[in-house]
Amino acid sequence: MTIDNIIITGNVSEVLNDILNKENYSKIAVLVDENTLAHCYPLIKSNLPQHTLIQIKSGEINKTLNTCTHVWQELTDQSFDRKSLFINLGGGVIGDLGGFCAGTYKRGIDFINLPTTLLSQVDASVGGKLGIDFNGFKNHIGLFQEPKNVLIDLNFLKTLPEQELRSGFAEILKHHLIADRTGWEGLKHKTFEAMDWTTSVPHSVQIKHKIVTEDPHESGLRKALNFGHTIGHGIESYLLNSGRAILHGEAVAAGIICEAYLSYKRELITEEELNDITQFIQSIYEKINLSDLDREEVCNYLMQDKKNRDNNILAVLLNGIGSVVWDQSLDRQESLDSLVFYDKL
Ligand SMILES: NC(=O)c1ccc[n+]([C@@H]2O[C@H](COP(=O)([O-])OP(=O)(O)OC[C@H]3O[C@@H](n4cnc5c(N)ncnc54)[C@H](O)[C@@H]3O)[C@@H](O)[C@H]2O)c1
Ligand SMILES: O=C(O)C(=O)C[C@@H](O)[C@H](O)[C@H](O)COP(=O)(O)O
Ligand SMILES: [Zn+2]
């Protein structure tokens, strides 16, 4: 299946080779971490023309400027010029950071995303949001720039740990809640084990692609994709910076419960809809334990959310299932209340 520059294939190596044969890149770099080097690189290696491997350490904790410096240094040492190509072979951390490095090196060189996690296949590789964390704030420094191509191959998922699959599933769930009411009605009765990635990956890619095509730079509609992320990023950032890191999707799942609760409090969804969402998420994700003090700390992080304006926290809430409203002003007490609701589940 192909949507614009996104190709879903069962043979990523061949498709990549075809693309490279049509271009005349001066040099090629492939960015990996230790896991994608071991599990994903073997799937593309034999068909790749001469290239340089650049390796970084895995994990959100390394999505930082220091890691970028290492990448830019390698490109510079090996005289990569503006006709070079950068290939991101990995999950969302590799895609966000590698895309940021490529998009800024000599003011930008082409890059191709080969997403290897469920989360990056259904979300992070699509839409050109690139960046790194700074001073502990998520994606604080970055830019919008589209990859030349996104090549999605479900074969990569065969080696992905189950916890990572569950994390990626949170973004699939988000896509249903913000844009597909009918799909949610079917999904909510399923177990995680019954999920079929061959249908749900293209479905999610279609939803995300449609939104980012309409509003690439997040002036309005694209904020829908941030549902669950106001509180979710607060939880993720706080726990990362206090040495208790959890996965992005795990934080987003908790954020979805909190923001669904806020939607219910504003009478935007019914109690039954809220219950369906919380029960479904509770059946898939372990509860994140947050003390009173932790919840206060999480709320401090909300002040740096990129959707804010004039020091107002502006969240995205559900407006019925399958639809959202954005720029919804949120005060600290409401945010705390939503975290208390989550805690009491
Ligand atoms: N740009 C966007 O639109 C966007 C969207 C959603 C999330 N994100 C970002 O994406 C990041 C999370 O991405 P992620 O969940 O892919 O995490 P990740 O990139 O950290 O990858 C998860 C883990 O799986 C390993 N791995 C990757 N592919 C593998 C494979 N096929 N087999 C075995 N191990 C493999 C990685 O080495 C890593 O340890 C966060 O930083 C988040 O902010 C960005
Ligand atoms: O693509 C988008 O737009 C999203 O918001 C997708 C999110 O799942 C993703 O986590 C994104 O990186 C969050 O963006 P941010 O602007 O809140 O950092
Ligand atoms: Zn996300």
Predicted confidence (pLDDT) per residue in 22-67, tens digit: 999 999 999 999 999 999 999 999 999 999 999 999 999 999 999 9
Domain boundary among 124, 159, 194: 159
Q: Measured between alpha carbons, how far is 14 from 4 in angstroms, rounded to an integer?
A: 18
Neighbours of 41 (CB within 10 A): 19
Summarize the confidence of residues 76-104 as an average pLDDT: 98
**Which residue has its alpha carbon closest to ligand 1 atom 7?**
124
DSSP letter assigned to residue 193: G
Q: Is 33 in the pocket of ligand 1 (CB under 6 A)?
A: yes
Q: Is 127 in the pocket of ligand 2 (CB under 6 A)?
A: yes
Q: Looking at the structure, tell me whether residues 114 and 240 fall in a common domain.
A: no
Answer whether 29's CB lies under 8 Å from 86's CB: yes
Please tell me whether residue 243 adopts helix, strand or coil conformation: coil
Ligand of minimum distance to the alpha carbon of 119: 1
Q: Is 276 in the pocket of ligand 2 (CB under 6 A)?
A: no
Q: Looking at the structure, tell me whether residues 148 and 260 fall in a common domain.
A: no
Give yes or no for residue 1 having a pLDDT over 90: no
Our CA angle for 306, 311, 315, nearest 5°, is 50
Using DSSP, how many helices (H) and how many strands (E) does the chain show? 14, 11
User: Atom of ligand 2 at shortest distance to CA of 305?
Assistant: 17
User: pLDDT tens, 274-290?
Assistant: 999 999 999 999 999 99
Q: Looking at the structure, tell me whether residues 177 and 114 fall in a common domain.
A: no
Q: Is 124 in the pocket of ligand 1 (CB under 6 A)?
A: yes
Domain boundary among 159, 174, 192: 159
Q: Looking at the structure, tell me whether residues 91 and 134 fall in a common domain.
A: yes
Q: Looking at the structure, tell me whether residues 154 and 84 fall in a common domain.
A: yes
Q: Is 102 in the pocket of ligand 1 (CB under 6 A)?
A: no
Q: Looking at the structure, tell me whether residues 147 and 166 fall in a common domain.
A: no
Exposure of 257 in the CB half-sphere (CA atoms within 13 A): 29
Q: Looking at the structure, tell me whether residues 227 and 313 fall in a common domain.
A: yes
Neighbours of 171 (CB within 10 A): 25
Range(s) of the domain holding residue 222 = 162-344
Show Cβ contacts of residue 159 under 8 Å, excluding neighbours closer than 6 positions.
Answer: 39, 40
Summarize the confidence of residues 94-99 as an average pLDDT: 98
Summarize the confidence of residues 181-185 as an average pLDDT: 98
Summarize the confidence of residues 122-134 as an average pLDDT: 98
CA–centroid distance, 132 to ligand 3, in Å, is 13
Ligand 1 pocket test, candidate residues 248, 252, 256, 305, most atoms within 8 A of CB: 248
129-134/137-144 β-pairing: antiparallel
Answer whether 220's CB lies under 8 Å from 193's CB: no
Ligand of minimum distance to the alpha carbon of 123: 1
Q: Measured between alpha carbons, how far is 108 from 147 in angstroms, rounded to an integer?
A: 11
Q: Looking at the structure, tell me whether residues 151 and 166 fall in a common domain.
A: no
Answer whether 81's CB lies under 8 Å from 59's CB: no
- Determine what percent of the chain is predicted with pLDDT higher than 70: 100
pLDDT level of residue 4 (50, 70, 90 thresholds):
confident
Lookup: tokens for 69 = 């410096």
Alpha carbon 59 to its chain's center: 13
ipTM above threshold 0.95: yes
Q: Is 93 in the pocket of ligand 1 (CB under 6 A)?
A: yes
Give yes or no for residue 75 having a pLDDT over 90: yes
Q: Looking at the structure, tell me whether residues 286 and 171 fall in a common domain.
A: yes
Domain boundary among 114, 129, 159: 159
* Residues composing the chain: 345
Q: Looking at the structure, tell me whether residues 117 and 236 fall in a common domain.
A: no
Summarize the confidence of residues 6-27 as an average pLDDT: 97
Q: Is 250 in the pocket of ligand 2 (CB under 6 A)?
A: no
User: Atom of ligand 1 at shortest distance to CA of 127?
Assistant: 3
Ligand of minimum distance to the alpha carbon of 167: 1
Place of tokens 């997403």: 115
Looking at residue 95, which CATH number applies to its domain? Answer: 3.40.50.1970
Cα→Cα distances 262→54, 188, 330, 337, Å: 44, 20, 9, 9
Ligand 1 pocket test, candidate residues 67, 93, 146, 285, most atoms within 8 A of CB: 93
CA–centroid distance, 110 to ligand 3, in Å, is 24
Confidence at residue 119, expressed as pLDDT on a 0 to 100 scale: 98
DSSP letter assigned to residue 124: I
Q: Looking at the structure, tell me whether residues 176 and 301 fall in a common domain.
A: yes
Q: Measured between alpha carbons, how far is 177 from 188 in angstroms, rounded to an integer?
A: 10
pLDDT level of residue 261 (50, 70, 90 thresholds):
very high
**Which residue has its alpha carbon closest to ligand 1 atom 39?**
58
**Which residue has its alpha carbon closest to ligand 1 atom 6?**
124
Looking at residue 317, which CATH number applies to its domain? Answer: 1.20.1090.10
Give the total number of structural domains in the chain: 2
Q: Looking at the structure, tell me whether residues 103 and 234 fall in a common domain.
A: no
